[in-house]
Amino acid sequence: MLASGHILYHYTGMSSLRLVQDVLLETQRQTLFTGVQRRLAYRRMPGKAFVCIGARRCGKSTLLHQIIAGLLKGGASAEDILYVNLFDDRLDEVRHGNLKLLTEAYFGLYPEKQGRGGVHCFLDEIQMAQNWELFADRIMRAEKMSVYLTGSSAGMLAREVGTAMRGRALAWELFPFSFAEFLDARGVAVDLRGQQARLRVRKAFDDYWARGGFPEVLDADAPLRVMIHQEYFKTMVFRDVVERHDALHPRAVRDMAYRLLNAAASMYTINALTGYLKSLGHRASKTFVGEVLDWLEDAYALFTVRLFDASLSRQHANPKKIYAIDHALVRSTSTGVLVNSGHLLENLVFVDGRRRGRELHYYRTGTGREVDFVWREPAGALRFVQVSERAPEGSRTLDRETAALREALREHPNSRACLVTRDDDEQLLEFPEGSIAILPAWQYLLEGEAVNR
């Protein structure tokens, strides 16, 4: 229906203002899809724009619908809502710098509301529009609107939100479903009390392990899920990287992105990536490779983790590790014959930490042993986390993984250490250097999560 409507507008020569008014009225009348309530601990403050940033298809639009539903429940009327999704092809003129058309169209419909406050403006996928930050700042000040924005560019955090909006915005990151949110979607209580409850959670984790956290694939069969994941990554690479940054060598960007995806939870160096691209016939420089890495992280497709070291120069000089936005997407999209399950589990643990806002690094002990993750907790102590698919009691794997953690504890007394496995039983190991908790992933991922709210 929308497509045919767009053709009608084209042939009748409908004015831009009337077209935008029709879009606004259409969105006011649509049924809101509110989906699963997200566990994002965001707060809204008067006088500051609410900004939600995250990967494509992770649920940003649904989160806006949840906020709108809350406003309507709290007494706002549908006429108080100005909502547009800037992916809408009918808003081409708006995207190309004419954002004021939105307010002209809205106040043309509701002139009595101009300058009086109480209007809530939702701009979905704002990175599609030019000079949006000046527009958002103006309507907050001049029109006294509450502003809500979403985007799929991490650079918005540091650039537009942090500078052009001059502190008039609070930004929050949204990721695909956490395990707790997946349980909410499945109607399984986030509760580990009692054998039956734990069995339900463990069974649900097997489902989460296979499907991942993108909301759209929750009920898709395996072949369709693979197709959806592959399309997601392809879109991130070509639309959010190649097109957004006007990359001069799109095939080199593609080859590098898939190379890194295949190496999820593994080390990489700029030199090695540059050599790989040259071996494929691309005229790639180290500067180009560094730019592409930044672009992929900006699009929430792939993320870099650096060595834990007080020296920034040593952090940059040492190899880095790469992780993807979703472990199941790696499985679906990887071009390798077999995907390393241990690496997928490590990727899952990474995304959990990144979602919680932890500044993650990997750690290398004085003797060269490596610990997968380390971060500083709010109280100041370090926490070390090692990941292994299986580490049964008495195995060499257990000895190897705990040896790295023991050495890290010896080098940083009063720290905490944990070994996360796919499904080994929970236990606490005592060593002279300190305690090491062994936790199955399904239990580790629920740390700090409230029982169904």
pLDDT at 59: 97
Residue 12: its pLDDT value, please? 36
Residue 126 lies in a domain: yes
Report in angstroms the alpha-carbon separations of 4 from 9, 11, 66, 86. 9, 11, 29, 19
pLDDT-flagged residues of the chain (< 70): 1-14, 157-164, 336-338, 452-453
Range of the domain at 163: 2-174
Q: 274 with 152, same domain?
A: no
Residue 193 is encoded by which pair of tokens?
A: 């009390």
Question: Any bridge partners for residue 266, and if so which?
Answer: 322
Is 221 domain-assigned? no
Tokens 């700090």 correspond to 448
Last residue of a domain, one of 296, 317, 338: 338
| Inside any domain, residue 274 | yes
Mark whether 141 and 236 lie in a shared domain: no
Considering its fold, how many domains does the chain have in total? 2
Does residue 440 fall inside a structural domain? no
Let me know how long the chain is.
Answer: 453
Contact 329/212 with Cβ under 8 angstroms? Answer: yes
Instruction: Kindly state whether residues 49 and 164 are assigned to the same domain.
Output: yes
| CA–CA dist 68, 77 (Å, integer) | 10
Q: Which residue in this structure is represented by tokens 């995806």?
A: 261
Q: Which of 285, 319, 338 is the last residue of a domain?
A: 338
Residues 137 and 274 in one domain: no
Q: Which CATH number fits the domain that encloses residue 70? A: 3.40.50.300
User: Can you point out the beta strands (E) in 243-366?
Assistant: 266-268, 302-307, 320-324, 361-364
Which DSSP letter does residue 431 get? E
Residue 412 lies in a domain: no
Is there a domain that residue 394 lies in?
no
Side by side, the strands of the sheet bearing 120-124 are 81-85, 120-124, 146-151, 49-54, 169-174
- pLDDT at residue 115 in the model: 87
- Whether residue 350 lies inside any domain: the answer is no
pLDDT at 154: 84
Residues 13 and 92 in one domain: yes
Q: What is the pLDDT of residue 7?
A: 40
Dihedral sign, Cα of residue 39, residue 227, residue 65, residue 297: positive
* Tokens describing residue 166: 């001059």
Longest C-alpha distance within the chain, in Å? Answer: 81
Residues 22 and 108 in one domain: yes
* Residue 407 belongs to some domain of the structure: no
Q: What's the CATH number where 234 sits? A: 1.10.10
Q: Domain check: are 123 and 262 in the same one?
A: no
From 306, 338, 370, the end of a domain falls on 338
pTM equals: 0.93
Are residue 49 and residue 144 in the same domain, yes or no?
yes
Question: What does the pLDDT read at residue 164?
Answer: 66
| Pair (166, 250) in one structural domain | no
What stretch of H or E contains 374? Answer: strand 370-376
- Give pLDDT tens digits for 388-409: 999 998 899 999 999 999 999 9
* pLDDT tens column, 325-336: 999 999 999 986
- Does 116 lie in the same domain as 9? yes
Please report the pLDDT score of residue 11 as a whole number.
35
